[in-house]
Amino acid sequence: MRYYIADQHFYHDNLNDRMDRRGFESGEAMNEYMICQWNSRVRPKDEVVILGDFCISPKGEDANAILSRLNGRKYLVVGNHDKYLNSKDFDPKHFQWITPYREMKDNKRKVILSHYPIMCYNGQYRRDSEGNPRTWMLYGHVHNTFDEYLINDFQKQTRQYQRQVYRSEEMVNIPCQMINCFCMFSDYVPLTLDEWIEVDQQRRKKLDLFDK
């Protein structure tokens, strides 16, 4: 099974009362809860793609300590806060690969993986034989900030436009399937692509109701 998650920010104590306002009594309590939530879902042979900003500490030994306690085979799409990667004490063998960008297949669908949201992503217009989107853009970085509201508006506007189908006269609405895999949206549990699709759809419906 493959899962995705973004922006855990292990050791980032300030997020408990600033920006995210996660509400844990301490950074240590936050770390322990996130480890517990991860291991409640992920089994040793599962795969987890982390979409950046895994650990705020620049110390390699801090990242090693957390990674050694997390189940599964781990993959990292690098975020702007993953400074521990530059530490001589960090063991890169904790990850199967480390990259700033990746394109993969997930159950016959394409996933575009980046820490930063990509508005015009590769394969955005592609659909299957039944007209369903074939490509999903998974991102992190923006947490639940105002930038996420801007991305939500961008998606709504993009889907209102139509584009001619290749080698056809048919006009169809443009797919725009961007999912913010921010860890707080899943209560810090890594989710499958299908689970993220459901979580994302329900969350954005609430945003639309709020806007009205």
**Helix, strand, or coil (residue 101):** strand
Q: How many residues does the chain have?
A: 212
- The total of other beta-carbon atoms located within 10 Å of residue 52's CB is 23
Higher pLDDT, 88 or 171: 88
Check residue 142 and give its pLDDT. Answer: 97
Average pLDDT, the chain: 93
Q: What is the mean pLDDT of residues 118-146?
A: 91
Confidence at residue 28, expressed as pLDDT on a 0 to 100 scale: 96
Residue owning tokens 């989710």: 191
pLDDT band at 205 (very low <50, low <70, confident <90, very high): confident
Predicted pLDDT at 212: 47
Instruction: Return the half-sphere exposure (C-beta side, CA atoms, 13 A cut-off) of residue 112.
Output: 21
Of residues 85, 83, 147, the one with CA closest to residue 117? 147
Q: Answer whether 47's CB lies under 8 Å from 111's CB.
A: no
H-assigned helices in 42-97: 60-67
pLDDT surpassing 70 at residue 211: no
Ordered by where they begin, the domains of the chain are 2-211 (3.60.21.10)
First to last CA, the chain: 38
CA 54 remoteness from chain centre: 11
Evaluate if residue 138 carries a pLDDT over 60: yes
Q: What is the pTM of this model?
A: 0.93
